Amino acid sequence: MARSRRLLAACAAPIGLMCALSTISAFAASPAGTLTVSFLHPETYTDAAYRSAYGSDRERAQVMNDIHSHFDELAARYLPQGYALSIEVLDVDLAGHFEPWRVRGYDVRIVRDVTWPRMTLRYALRGSDGAVIGSGEQRISDQNFNMGVNVYSQSDRLRYEKAMMDRWFDETVRRRLATRQTGQG
């Protein structure tokens, strides 16, 4: 009995590892399309720092990295293989503002209904044949960011911006992909 348990345990470990590796390779076997995100003149962005109104290059880099990562997640999930999406971020204005006149908490972001998130993006979406499916420059914002349900955690520093980016990706990129795939565009 003890011998069969040891044999079962010895066989179960490699099987678990094989299952994990096959899951990883299944994701690797279905690569998404190509995404390029660039940030043009981030030093001129309206508000792109987590900790202060006049963020340092390092603080802006953190925000840009988080924005880039979220676009990566969206592209990995929704951009078909062979397609290419290029996004140039022209401006970022995070939800909330700093109120430097406060004696305590001058470096705390105060989020109010009138301080909604905004971004200006220039994008180009290309099909697998290289043809431009959609392009343009858009100023996106979410004036209702503080109402309704937000799927992102309250501890997520870009929770409002991510919801706004999700909506833009859905309304702009996914809609164009759906139109193209149904042969209507």
Which is more confident, 127 or 32?
A: 127
| Per-residue pLDDT tens over the stretch 11-46 | 444 434 333 333 333 333 346 899 999 999 999 998
Burial of 112-126, coded b for 16+ CB within 10 Å and e otherwise, reads: eeebbbbbbbebebb
What is the model's pLDDT at position 100? 66
Mean pLDDT of the chain: 80
Average the pLDDT over 161-181 and give the result: 92
Q: Which of 168, 171, 147, 161 is nearest to 93 (CA)?
A: 161
Count CB-CB contacts under 10 A for residue 71: 21
What is the model's pLDDT at position 51? 75
Query: Are the beta carbons of 152 and 162 closer than 8 angstroms?
Result: yes
Query: Are the beta carbons of 98 and 46 closer than 8 angstroms?
Result: no
Compute the C-alpha angle 50/55/57, nearest 5°: 110
Give the whole-angstrom CA distance, residue 98 versus residue 53: 6
DSSP 8-state secondary structure symbol assigned to residue 47? B
Query: Are the beta carbons of 59 and 91 closer than 8 angstroms?
Result: no
- Summary count for the chain: helices (H), strands (E): 4, 6
Q: In the structure encoding, which two tokens stand for residue 39, read together?
A: 């940030």
> Does residue 8 register a pLDDT over 70?
no
pTM tops 0.85, yes or no: no
Count CB-CB contacts under 10 A for residue 50: 15
Give the whole-angstrom CA distance, residue 133 versus residue 19: 38
Pairing relationship of beta strands 84-93 and 34-39 according to DSSP bridges: parallel
Give the whole-angstrom CA distance, residue 152 versus residue 57: 26
**SS3 category, 38:** strand
Give the whole-angstrom CA distance, residue 120 versus residue 116: 14
What is the model's pLDDT at position 144? 82
What is the model's pLDDT at position 35? 98
What is the model's pLDDT at position 4? 46
